[in-house]
Structure 1
């Protein structure tokens, strides 16, 4: 996305140039600069965290009761799974049975 240097409106591409539909200002396209722009498609992917080797990766532990086996220790990590203005979600993995669950802010 590019914004017009003259009026600040969003520009559109037409025949290899950027064109402002508000004021008519035109600029040549810089394909190299456009290739480095961040797209929303690249932001949609969420990282999957493999916790099978949690102890080897140095994940922190906390005292919490596992709902499956009753063990009182779990590894934890935080991950942003909702929009950026929402708080992160804490994921927990039992150190005994490796049951996974999450803790949301309410």
Structure 2
């Protein structure tokens, strides 16, 4: 949680006084505020399932297909749609993204 100076609107920083109490102070102007009580906050984020970043729901419809063994346990699929993207530096190999046509399992190989 960021707090801002009421006088000049800059971010307040936390410092410790010589009496071992915390204080919020502005580095731009002379504003100081002693913190009397502990301040804490917690936020729990919910994980949401999202579609593929590369092209949305229809990204796999026109992808190339090849014979690749699916790594998922219990799946004997041997055909996967794939596409390649350069996600690292230019001197590194491209990353291949796969989707099994039998079970829908997704994986990638560098």
Q: Give the structure-2-normalised TM-score.
A: 0.45
When you count helix as a share of all residues, which structure comes out higher?
1
| Structure (1 or 2) with the larger CA radius of gyration | 2
Q: Give the structure-1-normalised TM-score.
A: 0.46
